[in-house]
Homo-oligomer: A and B are copies of this chain.
């Protein structure tokens, strides 16, 4: 007879197995699914997601958790057993608090919302989407009330993506970041210096982009015997099992940055997944801790490593080999300047490293105002334009390139956006510490040695899974709570010299 703890782990692993199959269906849908097969795929995924939910809310789960709550196994909160019990209880409690009817209404509103959003964006007509958004916000308010919160309703939603984070802390750190970013971007614009961006839009043949991207992903530590790279429309990374991590990209032969930094970004996510303890797959100590920390891993490899001068001291000769035509007459410094070009623009997913967080801050502020009711839904388009003008100095000519550009709100994802900026903030703070601990990352990167940083991340972050919360992790590793200074130091350190402002 298995102990209660073994039974609980068995249930959790079985639920994770069902979810991993659903993840394969999702991966296939976004990479290889034949055009006409979408309807049945939706049926398959609905079935599996229902099965997983059923497994994660079965009463047996609650009984075992009750039995284990006061046990010795639960005592050390940061041990594997303590983490398993604590986190499974957290998840179970949240799930059973949500009325079945609300879950179904949210699913339906999100499906209809996304369909309406696609049409509204194509027609550049916010009014078509407005009633759906109103409904979704109302349901998200109900969700927050059902789940409960200490401080404010937005906390309850944020918790789905960044467990235990608090809105007030985020508001403080992102507020400070904005105050420093806005003048930095302004100064760069005023500098009159323009990067030679034409280089990255020269022809970079697709086959060479794929080969070069895979070389770089392998060099930074993505293990291809435990993963793959495929092509998709909207790149993502997904974990299909303890030794099966799939990353994706898309190629534009006249835009080198898209696929290359996209591959480094997704490989960064993948290195996190591959660094989790595989024998604990499906249990909280073997699972990623938060979307913010996940994003910190992708942004670190993409930006702090991949867009650094040191990285290109090593990779520039290889870039010349893979792209001899595009490389004609280009110096390493020119390429470095081109891939670090700063320019306020309207579309988040195309934004550079400096302005990206301003896009996020706009959304973070607006979605809180929508949820609280301070911003009526029909005032959203005007409020969006106003904030873009204030923070980025430009305003969209229409809603399609304004408040209709992202899928998130139509999919009922409120509280998701700030995790992107959290990722950038965590990445910089962790990278500074790694630099200190490893005695200078620049020297390592110049020589193409990325293994030390990967092992540092394995040891400091990946292997802990959910044993510590995101903020506990950062405090433990860096000795400080999350702040905006490391990111600002990084941006100023790189961009001021590039734009002749140092």
Contacts and interface: CB of A to CB of B under 8 A. Distances in A.
A41 interface: yes
A243 B44 contact: no
Interface string A9-32: 000001001101100110010001
A39 B21 CA distance: 14
Contacts of A226: 34-37
A271 interface: no
B40 A241 contact: yes
Interface string A277-290: 00001000000000
A45 to B, nearest CB: 9
Interface in A232-290: 240-245, 281
A17 B22 CA distance: 13
Contacts of A240: 37
Given A34-B244, A242-B40, A21 B28 contact: no
Interface in A30-83: 32-37, 39-41, 43-44, 47-48
Contact of A34 (B34, B41, B228): B228
A104 B64 CA distance: 30
B21 A25 contact: yes
A224 interface: yes
Q: Taking the full assembly, how many copies of this chain does it contain?
A: 2
Interface residues of A, number: 35
B281 A17 contact: no
Contact of A47 (B14, B227, B245): B14
A498 to B, nearest CB: 39
- The winner among A48, A223, A228, A244 for most chain B CB atoms within 10 A is A244
Contact of A17 (B39, B44, B228): B44
Interface in A205-243: 223-228, 230, 240-243
A348 to B, nearest CB: 31
Interface string A386-397: 000000000000
B33 A244 contact: yes
Contacts of A43: 17
Contacts of A224: 34
Given A34-B225, A48-B21, A228-B34, A244 B40 contact: yes
Given A34-B227, A225-B36, A241-B44, A28 B25 contact: no
Contacts of A228: 32, 34
9 contacts: A14-B47, A21-B25, A34-B225, A34-B227, A35-B225, A36-B226, A39-B243, A40-B281, A44-B241
Interface of A: 14, 17-18, 20-21, 24-25, 28, 32-37, 39-41, 43-44, 47-48, 223-228, 230, 240-245, 281
The 8 closest A-B pairs by CB, nearest first: A37-B244, A40-B241, A36-B243, A35-B225, A36-B226, A37-B243, A36-B225, A34-B226
